[in-house]
Amino acid sequence: MSSEPETVIRTWFEEVWNQRREAAIDRLFAPEGVVHGLPGGDLRGPGSFKQIFQTFSGAFPDIHITVERTMTDGEYISALCRVQGTHTGPTLGMPATGKRVDFQGITMGRVSGGQIQEGWNVFDFLAMYQQLGVAPPAA
């Protein structure tokens, strides 16, 4: 696998999220890596990220994230993503609704040595909660 930022990010979404290979987190996320903008605040290291992975893959066992566009600037990569899945698990702190979600977000990562060193996430979780029926619909 190439250590180029775009290859690393695309591999991250494909292996970790779409193929649900939790072990890929250890390979692709640096031991001292940090992720900003996730529910619950910043996370440091693969072990912390695995908790978010388990929460979302438990809530959406069929989660699929499509990387729609990317832009690279040196070791930085931005990716526009589309998230789809069915809420069939209780790990978001609520009973499963059985509803489908389809929302977007942008992630930016700093990749060095073939690993994500730092990441920033801005995903439309409000749209996700609206689609699940636990937040008021948009006006």
Q: Return the residue matching tokens 């070791």.
A: 75
Quote the percentage of the chain above a pLDDT of 90.
88
pLDDT of residue 76 exceeding 80, the answer is yes
Q: Is 40 helix (H, G, I), strand (E, B) or coil?
A: coil
Domains of the chain plus CATH, in order, are: 5-132 (3.10.450.50)
* Beta-carbon contacts of residue 70 (< 8 Å; ≥ 6 apart): 6, 9, 10, 77, 78, 79, 80
**pLDDT digits over 29-61, tens only?**
999 999 997 767 899 999 999 999 999 999 999
Q: Is 128 helix (H, G, I), strand (E, B) or coil?
A: helix
b/e per residue 2-39 (b: at least 16 CB within 10 A):
eeebbebbbbbbbbbbeeeeeebbebbbbeebbbebbe
What pLDDT is stored for residue 137 in this prediction?
Answer: 79
What tokens appear for 82 in the block?
Answer: 């589309």
24 versus 135: which is more confidently predicted? 24
Q: Is 102 helix (H, G, I), strand (E, B) or coil?
A: strand
The model scores a pTM over 0.75: yes
